[in-house]
Structure 1
């Protein structure tokens, strides 16, 4: 496989960009990332003409794939031709807001921003402003964007910045606890409950290998935060309009958070973020309230048109039936392959998301007949239950180096593009086909 052009482009990039990239995760591919020239349905073509089945989908936003349906493409082009942006409101941002409010259970009002990071930054500020409290509880290993309040590691007793440039005094207001650990969460609220503004969590850990909540965990969080007057924030930047269809993951779990952050799919492939929730809380944002939040490009008309047309197309054309069906086939096929070739490994995911976590321990190969059939669901009767990851630490203890240094390259050599490390999840799009699934399963068989 020739990669001369990608190598030369990376050499140039190293001279003008830190690490040769504009987002750190892109450099996880060694010795250098391939540079994409264009997308085509469920595939990408790199600068050397190599074609890959793309299960990364821009890290999630491309629900429809790289080749947009005619009506979606036309709406984007029409909006772009009317002028790039105006610094005033437009009708299309109202249309998209109404669509989200109509379909997502927790959202009565919404504020659009420009990225998932900006959404979580604003949600944390809003929670603190609304409650008059300082502390935010997060899940260890969870990712909520490149922001000071959540780039924190350690535990609730000893939180510390996970990045240079963040003062320790910032980290002291963030309380990391393990996902799925009710006892640890109770202890944090017993110690700090009067100063906890919110619990911020993904409904499914989707930036750490895909970890489902154990049965009753989100109900427990909802009850505990209500009891202490804290807010429950669901970060649905990844799961939003991926898991649970138009109702998002919160509808699938039957939980109504106070606030929800969005990104990815609601921009249809363009930069976007949003914060939605109860009207009485969202109205604390300026100019209606005292929590300052603003952005020149917020509600950008081209992004709003792309997001609205993407979601409307999904609603009218059984997009979720297609992507979730292929996702089910992938996970079911991977479950059989893993049981045969790598029985200690764990298949995870739901709907249009999937991943294989290279867990080090597992049940005996002859006991796997009753396992979860298409991705770990934290089912106590599953023979993998005691071995599958329950939180970020469980994923981190997997064979992450083997995944990145050996397995990823073996899949790339078979023209399959997977997410850049063990932790980022993978996505199915409307542009993928049955043939893509079969080719990918055959590649897994060879690589494992």
Structure 2
């Protein structure tokens, strides 16, 4: 492929954008290809190269790059009426009613502008509601670029430190990081400091760290500990929301109802968005009905609300989830078969319309009873002891092999995957069975 134009544009970007990009995950080696436009399940770069797209905007593009006609009409109608007003609109009420009607934990919402803003506000709300300061997060979990959760465990597991320069140690002092899926660790934390814990903040599935599924009963344990100690359970469904579990989200799929839920991605229909949802008793503590400050000029932006509302309504009225989940299962099962033959140490992960291959380093003793459509953390599986269960397990994979070799090979075959070992990949309603077969052939070649 010719990438001359992308290289030229990246060279210009390095002079005016930090690192040449506006999000660090876009800085691929040796330089990113610059996207000109989308077309269904594909993107076309500045040099005219066409790629089958599984990045899908890192999740929000449930329908690919050509939204259904009713979504496009709603966007155009609201955009033509004025970009924004600084006052309430009917469409934000409509959208909130739809989300509240379908998601088990939600009675009331506050719309914001990003997933980061949603988790920042949820943490503030939880601390104010409980009168406590300490937040528990999962090692390898991601909750946006906020000071309270950009932390990592130090040499002493009881001590948490900032994971980025620029964050005072005092922020990390109020956050405890525990390994995902480790029931003993979370029980120990609550035994020692349960009366200090405002909330446990977790993704239902670690979706920014190789797609790590919960072991059986883990979320029920979190729910029980929070109930016993008067803490809130917060599910960060920015990625899993309306991707996993359909309209009920991952909490519906797993049958565990959190106290608060954060949203993003699909609920904005491809436009910037975030939201915090939960029981009215808790969410009404936001100003102006309560004392917990939260505000934003662009919150509930009418074009975003219109796009998100029609996005979800279309999914409710058509068999979108059946289609994308079936394609996701076909893709994961196909990759699993290829790995069994060519790279038995690799682990295929994901659920519904999400997928990834983790370049784990240990092969199972046998493939009998192995999970066919993505790791399910089943104890009866031959791989159970070696499949990733924590963020550290994924970090210990052959991450350089993904970035330096595999991703590059797939790109040259016209398949665009997320550029590192950790970020989730997504199937859209625009993908076809032929696309899946093309992708599997590329996997055979690249692996």
Give the TM-score normalised by structure 1. Answer: 0.99
Separation in 2, partners of 1:127, 1:414: 47
Q: Counterpart of 1:44 in 2: which secondary structure?
A: strand
Deviations 1:238-294 (CA, angstroms, capped at 9, x unpaired): 000000000000000000000000000000000000000111110110001110000
Cα deviation code 1:170-213 (max 9, x no counterpart): 11101000000011111111221111000000000000000000
Distance in 1, matches of 2:140 and 2:226, equals 21
Distance in 2 (alpha carbons) for counterparts of 1:391 and 1:369: 24
Q: Which runs of 4+ in 1 moved over 3 A?
A: none
Q: Distance in 2 between matches of 1:435 and 1:40?
A: 16
- Give CA-to-partner distance per residue, 1:3-44, whole Å, 9 cap, x none: 0110010000000011001111111x1011111000001000
1:438 aligned residue: 437
User: Paired residue for 1:141?
Assistant: 140
Once residues 82 and 5 of structure 2 are traced to their aligned partners in structure 1, the CA distance between those partners, rounded to angstroms, is 35
**Does 1:4 find its partner at 2:4?**
yes
What's the secondary structure of 2:367's corresponding residue? helix
Which residue does the alignment assign to 2:66?
67
In the alignment, the residues of structure 1 paired with residue 252 and residue 120 of structure 2 have an alpha-carbon distance, to the nearest angstrom, of: 24
- Output the CA distance in 1 between the equivalents of 2:283 and 2:139: 27
In 2, the alpha carbon distance for the partners of 1:186 and 1:74 equals 51
SS in 2 for 1:370: coil
Aligned equivalents of 2:363, 2:78: Cα separation in 1: 53
- Cα RMSD of the aligned pairs, angstroms, is 0.6
Please state whether the residue corresponding to 2:368 is helix, strand or coil. Answer: helix
Structure 2 counterparts to residues 35-114 of structure 1, below 5 A: 35-114=34-113
Q: Using the TM superposition, give the Cα deviation of residue 369 of structure 1 relative to its aligned residue in structure 2, in angstroms.
A: 2.5
- Per the normalisation by structure 2, the TM-score is 0.99
Secondary structure at 2:235 match in 1: strand
Q: Secondary structure at the match of 1:294?
A: coil
How far is 1:382 from its partner?
A: 0.4
Q: Measure, in 1, the Cα distance between the counterparts of 2:26 and 2:159.
A: 30
CA–CA separation in structure 1 for the residues paired with 2:205 and 2:100: 22
Match of 1:386 in 2: 385
For residue 304 of structure 1, what is the aligned residue in structure 2?
A: 305
- Residue 355 of structure 1 corresponds to which residue in structure 2? 356
> 1:15 is matched with which residue?
15
Residues 318-338 of structure 1 deviation map (CA, whole Å, 9 limit, x = unaligned): 110110010010011011011
CA displacement at 1:81 relative to structure 2: 0.2
Q: Which runs of 5+ in 2 are unaligned?
A: none
Give the whole-Å Cα distance in 1 for the aligned partners of 2:198 and 2:32: 40
Cα distance in 1 for residues equivalent to 2:45 and 2:430: 18
- Cα deviation, 1:197-236, whole Å, max 9, x if unaligned, reads 0000000000000000000000000000000000000000
The answer for the alignment partner of 1:201 in structure 2 is 202
Match of 1:264 in 2: 265
**Counterpart-to-counterpart distance in 1, 2:51 and 2:368:** 33
Q: Give the corresponding residue for 1:329.
A: 330
Find the aligned partners of 1:175 and 1:189 in 2 and give their Cα distance: 11
Aligned to 2:282: 281
Across the two proteins, how many residue pairs are aligned to each other? 445
Q: Secondary structure of the equivalent of 2:262?
A: strand
Q: Distance in 2 between matches of 1:407 and 1:190?
A: 44
CA distance in 1, matches of 2:43, 2:378: 36
SS of residue in 2 equivalent to 1:74:
helix
Q: How many Å separate the matches in 2 of 1:172 and 1:352? A: 37
Q: Matches of residues 219-258 of structure 1 in structure 2 within 5 Å?
A: 219-258=220-259
**Quick check: 1:118 aligned with 2:133?**
no
Secondary structure in 2 aligned to 1:144? coil
Measured in 2, the distance between the counterparts of 1:284 and 1:331 equals 43
* Partner secondary structure for residue 109 of structure 2: strand
Shift in Å, 1:69? 1.3
Corresponding residue of 1:24: 24
- Equivalence for 2:293: 292
Residue aligning to 1:183: 184
Distance 2:134 2:32 in 1: 38
